[in-house]
Amino acid sequence: MGAGGTAGRRSLIRRLVRWPVRIAMFAAITIGVAGVAALWTPPAPAAPDRPGALAIVDVTIVDPRQGGHLSPHQTVLVDGARIALVDARDRVPIPAGAQVVDGRGRYLIPGLWDAHVHTLRLSPQLHLPLFVAWGVTAVRDMGDACSWSTDLDCVPSAPAWRAAIDAGTIVGPRIVEAVSFHVETVPEASQELAALVAGLRQRGEPFVKAQLDDDAAPASFQSLVRAAGASGLAVAGHVPFAVDLADPALALRSVEHDRSLLPQCSSARLAYTGRVATMQTLLAGLDEPRCARVLENLVRHDTAYVPTHVASSGQDAAHAIGTPPAPDALALVVAPHRWLWAVARRAGRLDGEAQQTVQAVHRAALALTARAHAAGVVVLAGTDALDPDVVHGLALHDELALLVRAGLTPADALQAATAGPARHAGLAHERGAIAAGLVADLVLLAANPLEDIAHTRRIEAVIAAGRVYDGPRRDALLQGVRHAASSWATASRLLRGLWWDTP
Ligand SMILES: [Zn+2]
């Protein structure tokens, strides 16, 4: 008994010693596998070659401009990356050997733009193919991996991506403009501020992206606008609540997010903190004449308004009632972001009166968008993709639906994602419409989007700078992202890069 008892104790001790060793070995192997797996991140997909010539035959062309117009029985000839000819089907000879796409019963729209997205170093695997798959052929990147850093030496992604997308070694939209720095605090010393703006200019930033705290002092925002202006750069971004956008001297390139503009229409904006507790006060203070002055000022300076309803008040409203995106949309999102989004959704969950207040703010934000559009403000469709529950590419279709819910016609919503952003970027001669000489960015739809904006989701084929993504190629893009998003290697690389950046 005694000996048996000692042996039993010994084996218990051995077992107790053995478990931590086993756990440590398991952890070491797991970390080792993760390390090796991290080297095997799925490659970004490559693009198909451009056909020698492409003919989209007998299609109905949708022009969203001037209230929307349909031209049936048209043929579009594409040569390389450009549209060569658009005319009635009988008048267009199809070149021998051309790839022919049957357009009968289908609708052709210009490629869509998303005027507010975010990217990471892993976006060629995780995000850029999704834009193309969902018909988004041009984007304005409002913050890449470098924008998380305050280091101006960080190397922006866009130049390399543009070259790789042009060459077809990765799949992605045209990155029209890309910002790699968020100004979150404005240096008080004027020399320091001037040096910051000069640094941004030297790096080739298209404008200064302001991302000050909502309660930042108006004076620091104004000094940023002045310093940028003195250096020939405009400011775009978030507007702190206390800044007065009715001030005629305040010229911005764009105002981002409905949560930035709505407070400007309230005489109670100084009492507003962005928190639910102050939302009723904000709504009670909505002031028509003040709002008219703010909108007039935006029109005066050709300041675009990018409400990003899907991420801003719309996200608050959806999170208040705890609605997650559809499972097939979430399957396109890499695991660490999916987890983070679930946490954000839970944290944003509200009950009773608070829930109704947040929904009332969303309705007021939609009404403001309709009002801004009617007042002649350039409203652009943007999503803030990368924000919780905002899936790259797919979310643009949600934003279009929200613009229509706000009161825009489907034609006007489409224009906010085609000709509108092209003109605002000074690229109307290149993009945003279907005409000879323009870049061949096109989306072929199974149904008329002017009848129902939801028809922009019924994509038969996407043509991005002349490269054709029809059924199987489009499916392959989505499948590739699903694969990369579910890969352990991608998740581990993302985690190693502290969520947003990767080595
Ligand atoms: Zn953003």
Domain assignment present for 81? no
Q: Which domain holds residue 16?
A: 2-39
pLDDT category of residue 73 using cuts at 50, 70 and 90: very high
Residue 180 lies in a domain: no
Question: Considering the domain boundaries, does residue 8 fall inside one?
Answer: yes
Q: What's the 142 CA to ligand 1 centre distance in angstroms? A: 6
> What is this structure's pTM?
0.91
Would you state the pLDDT for residue 3? Answer: 43
C-alpha to C-alpha distance for 273 and 356, rounded to whole angstroms: 18
- Residue 142, judged by CB atoms within 10 A of its CB (0-12, 13-18, 19+), counts as buried
**Would residue 16 count as lying in a domain?**
yes
C-alpha 73 to ligand 1 mean position (Å):
40
> What's the 416 CA to ligand 1 centre distance in angstroms?
18
Cα distances (Å, whole numbers) of residue 40 to 35, 140, 172, 271, 358: 9, 30, 21, 52, 44
- For residues 356 and 395, the answer to whether their CB atoms sit within 8 Å is no
Which ranges of 376-425 would DSSP assign to H, the alpha helix?
394-406, 410-415, 419-424
Q: Could you give the number of structural domains in the chain?
A: 1
Distant-in-sequence, close-in-space partners of 15: CB < 8 Å, separation ≥ 6:
none
In 49-68, which positions are buried (b, 16+ CB within 10 angstroms) versus exposed (e)? ebbebbbbbbbbbbbbbeeb
Backbone angles phi, psi at 280, to 5 degrees: -65, -40
Spacing, Cα 419 to ligand 1 middle (Å)? 22
Q: Cα–Cα distance between 1 and 86 in angstroms, integer?
A: 97
Average pLDDT over residues 442-468: 98
> Residue 10: inside a domain, yes or no?
yes
Given pLDDT bands bounded at 50, 70 and 90, which one contains residue 24?
Answer: confident
In the reported structure, the alpha carbon of residue 234 is separated from the centroid of ligand 1 by a whole-number distance in angstroms of: 17
Which residues are 286's β-sheet partners?
A: 266
For residue 489, the CA-to-ligand 1 centroid distance in Å is 27
How far is the centre of ligand 1, averaged over its atoms, from the C-alpha of 119 (Å)? 10
Tell me: pLDDT of 237 over 60.
Answer: yes
Distance (angstroms) between ligand 1 centre and the Cα of 5 equals 67
Inside any domain, residue 234 = no
Report CA(117)–ligand 1 centroid distance (Å): 6
User: How many Cα atoms occupy the beta-carbon half-sphere of 484 within 13 Å?
Assistant: 24
Q: How far apart are CA 489 and CA 502, in angstroms?
A: 12
In a domain, 285, yes or no: no
Cα 300 to averaged position of ligand 1 atoms, centre (Å): 24
Q: How many angstroms is it from 331 CA to the middle of ligand 1?
A: 22
Distance CA 293, CA 181 (A): 31
In a domain, residue 328? The reply is no
Read off the pLDDT of residues 283-332 as tens digits, 9 standing for 90 and up.
999 999 999 999 999 999 999 999 999 999 999 999 999 989 999 999 99
Q: How far apart are CA 280 and CA 409, in angstroms?
A: 29
364 Ramachandran zone, left/alpha/beta (phi>0; psi -120 to 50) = alpha
For residue 383, how far is its CA from the centre of ligand 1 (angstroms)? 8
State the distance from the centre of ligand 1 to the C-alpha of 211, rounded, in angstroms: 9
Task: Please report which confidence band the pLDDT of residue 494 belongs to, taking 50, 70 and 90 as the band edges.
Answer: confident
Residues with beta carbon < 5 A to ion ligand 1? 142, 384
| Predicted confidence (pLDDT) at residue 31 exceeds the cutoff of 70 | no
Alpha carbon of 384 to ligand 1 centroid (Å): 5
